[in-house]
Structure 1
Amino acid sequence: MIILNSVEEFRQRYHTAKKWRRCAEAIANLPLLKPGMCHSIGDSLVYRLVDGKVAAAPCFTGNRRYVEIHYYLSGSESIAYAAKPSLTLLSPYSDETDRETFSGAATTRHTASAGQLLVFDNDYAYQPQGSDHLRKMVLMVTIEGATFHNK
């Protein structure tokens, strides 16, 4: 997991590929978003706004084809995470959802706060611990080049 402290830090670090510039474009669309509605830009990015009480996840979640980014707008959320090989697989990878679930102990925890972006790469699984009120943007960015190979 990569922790960034601002959108500006994200822009400086991730500016070379089109898919990362699309993330900045999605963040600029934030005033137009309604909670729970999914949006996309091209075939490399889908994103949504989460606003309200968020329950703790019952298990760790990992992805393979997408990098998941959480951009925290208000509130805070504790996230537990660990390398996938250190966890026990609960449900096998699903190509339809790009998810696999795990159980086990977290190796690290981080409490994300407003302004931060957490980048969950594919080597780790994460487990949100819940929040009474949270407003965040969740972006799913393909790990493949700028687009899917079959498009």
Structure 2
Amino acid sequence: MAGGFTLTSPDAKDGGTLSEQQVSNVFGCTGGNRSPALEWSGAPADTKSFVVSLYDMDAPTGSGFWHWVMFDIPADVHKLDVGITADKGAPQGAIQSRADAGVPAYLGACPPPGQKHRYVFTVTALKVDKLPLDSSASGALIGFMGNANALAKATITTTYGR
């Protein structure tokens, strides 16, 4: 994958702890449930679209937990604003999937009490304009199709515990 492709955020620092604004407001958590602002640069010149995801690799499910997946983000988009919801703020043409929470929107971190989890924000540059999927696609399926069409990836890994 391309070495110059980077992902940054004023709200989620690589190696840092998520703020209460990025924490869920359901499942016993009382955070702001606001998606962080994300910005990426250095994508390969032949990028045709992007996938953005948030994955909890430590969720006690046997398969992790997809907190947020957005795909078919146009190649000329290089940032997402803070606070994207199911019906506001996504780039024109982008699709948010239901992910593992069952709704097509961001769901903030909320590990079980007494646990600290790792949360990985990933932007994947794709060689295709669109994935042959819709908003009902699972995070795993979008990940599979995204990886099959990936040119490069950039990540931020954060933690949150309670």
Scaled by the length of structure 1, the TM-score of the pair is 0.28
Flag the structure with higher strand content. 1
Flag the structure with higher helix content. 1
Return the structure number with greater relative CO, CA threshold 8 A, min gap 6: 1
